[in-house]
Each structure stands twice: as C-alpha cells, then as structure tokens.
Amino acid sequence: MLKKILPSLLLSCLASGAVAATVPASTQTLPTTDQIIVKLKPTVSSTRRAVQTAVDAVGMGIRSTYKRSMANGAHIIQLPAPMTLQEASDYATILRADPTVEYAEPDQLMFLDA
C-alpha cells in the first residue's frame, strides 16, 4: 500500500514546490508604513501646531495628521493610508525641503543584522 502512495505523494510535493517557486516577484508584498517621523530645527518652535503647519505647507495635498511627540523632540505624523517605503521616503524628501524641518523619514521597524 505504501509503495503505491509514496510515488504519488512525492510527485505532489515536488509539484507544489515548483509552483511555489514560480510565484512572480510582482505579487510579493512590499513593506509599507503609514507614519512619517518629522523633527523641526531647534530655531523653530516645535509645537504640535508648528509641526502640522510645516507638514501641511509642503504636503502635496496629502492630508496627514499629527499623532504624537517623541522623547527626542521629533513628532509622528500619521499618513491617510499606508505607502510603500519608497513612496514614504519620497514624501519625506519633499518634507525635508522645508527650511524649518531638520529631518523627516518614514517610520519603520529596524533590525540589527546578527
């Protein structure tokens, strides 16, 4: 009985592995974020209103909202919808063009390489 089932089982395992290996890269999900970290320059009042004003001034029509401040003086800005890290990075680059912004970057998890 096992001799009859084993070849079929082996063939089905190999076939499923071949199908899984041929999944196109375009269907893989890209990492996303729905937040940007923004820090204003020390010469600028770093209040909630100042941060929101700076973001709105160059926000390209993206209706982001202030979420919270961080211990280091930076602020979290909530995006209206998740963006790929590349889109969020492009948006942060535009925010950095504002002379009141010290830095802006996508909020993402980072890991140490072991």
Tell me the pLDDT tens digit for each residue of 11-58.
Answer: 454 455 544 555 565 666 888 999 999 999 998 887 888 888 888 887
The model's pTM: 0.69
Per-residue pLDDT for 95 more than 70? yes
pLDDT of residue 14: 47
Mean pLDDT of 71-84: 93
Evaluate whether 56 touches 19 at the Cβ level (below 8 Å).
no
- On average, the pLDDT of the chain sits at 80
d(CA 59, CA 46): 18
List, in order of start, the domains of the chain with CATH numbers. Answer: 32-106 (3.30.70.80)
Please name the helix (run of DSSP H) or strand (run of DSSP E) that holds residue 102, with its range, or none. Answer: strand 101-106
